[in-house]
Amino acid sequence: MINKEVYLKNFNDVEERLTASKILDRANIALRDHVSTFTDFIDMYKLSKFLSLVHNLSDLTIKAFGGYSESERKIIGFCPEYRELEEKDFPIAPIEVLLKSPKEEAISHRDYLGSILGLGIERSKIGDILVYEQKAVVFVYKDIASYIVNNLSKIKSVKAEAKEILLEDIIPPQPKIKEIASTVSSLRADSILSAGFQLSRNKIVDLIKSEKALINGTIASPSSHIKEGDFLTLRGFGKIKLVEVRGKTKKDRMSIVIHRYV
């Protein structure tokens, strides 16, 4: 069994320590009872820290999944190492929320989330929300899916109807992208984030040191090297991708192209 105190000593934040303790409890149950166990949904800014907590645990298969390949909020699953965890094993149910009348006002991600939380559901039981033109797909913990379907009747002031659908039927919406051509002194994370979000270098460094920046889902440092194809996320600001490095300018700066997801 796992000695939790050995692992928890690195967590000073009370909330993070409590979450880490619950995650280790899930791992211990998987080891003790030879069953599959799962955490609640974990947001992308904490996921890499908690995966680092458990990735060296022996005798376990460990996997994170949120309902589709690019999900940001994920569940961590555990099972004995002699078994594999498949995506269908995760207790995730996608719910399609269809707006029943034309929108008189913009219906946003926040509106869908607020209406579901208004049913008395905890945020940790809700994963990503994919917003389309006249509907959304919400990934939720399977044991609350029927409750949402039976009780969610409107989003903001717009009538709505909810139903469970299959994971394999989901096609994520095409993201809206703003292309940014810029030059940077280097391909460090702080330089790329500053260019992509048009924030000062000092502001970016402060955000990175507060663990609010990720590179491909892993916590960034200001000096992290960024390469073509890398995704960078900044909490409260969004996500960018370094699409192309075009080479050096006459002033010895790097010419780059960034896609910002808006």
161 burial (CB, 10 Å; 0-12 / 13-18 / 19+) is middle
CATH number belonging to the domain at 92-169, selected among 3.40.47.10, 3.30.70.330, 3.30.110.60, 3.40.50.300: 3.30.70.330
For residue 174, what are its two tokens? 């095409």
User: Does position 259 have pLDDT exceeding 70, yes or no?
Assistant: yes
Q: If you classify domain 177-261 with CATH, what class do you get?
A: alpha beta
* Residues 174-230: tens digit of each pLDDT: 989 999 999 999 999 999 999 999 999 999 999 999 999 999 999 999 999 999 999
Asked whether 88 and 75 are in contact (CB, 8 A), the reply is no
The proportion of the chain whose per-residue pLDDT surpasses 90, expressed as a percent, equals 90
**Nearest 5°: CA angle at 94, between 45 and 140?**
50
User: Does position 51 have pLDDT exceeding 80, yes or no?
Assistant: yes
Confidence of residue 148 (pLDDT cuts 50, 70, 90): very high
Q: What integer best gives the mean pLDDT of the chain?
A: 95
DSSP the chain: ---HHHHHTT--SHHHHHHHHHHHHHHHHHHHHT--EEEEEE-HHHHHHHHHHHTT-TTEEEEEE-SSTT-SSEEEEEEETTS---GGGS-EEEEEEEESS--SS---HHHHHHHHHTTT--GGGEEEEEE-SSEEEEEEEGGGHHHHHHH--EETTEEEEEEE--GGG--PPPPPEEEEEEEESSSBHHHHHHHHHT--HHHHHHHHHTT-EEETTEE--TT-B--TT-EEEETTTEEEEEEEEEEE-TTS-EEEEEEEE-
Report, as an integer, the average pLDDT of 221-248. Answer: 96
Residue scoring higher pLDDT (91 or 174): 91
Residue ranges of domains in the chain = 4-88, 92-169, 177-261
The pLDDT of residue 230: 97
Q: How far apart are CA 257 and CA 14, in angstroms?
A: 40
Long-range contacts of 242-246 (CB under 8 A, 24+ apart): 242/187, 242/192, 243/179, 245/187
CATH code for residues 4-88:
3.30.1370.160
Report, as an integer, the average pLDDT of 17-27. Answer: 96
Residue scoring higher pLDDT (7 or 95): 95
The pLDDT of residue 222: 97
Residue that has been written with the tokens 């600001």 in this structure: 237
- Tell me the pairing of strands 74-80 and 158-164: unpaired
Residue that has been written with the tokens 């370094």 in this structure: 242
Asked whether 244 and 256 are in contact (CB, 8 A), the reply is yes
User: Does position 105 have pLDDT exceeding 80, yes or no?
Assistant: no
Confidence of residue 10 (pLDDT cuts 50, 70, 90): confident
The pLDDT of residue 103: 62
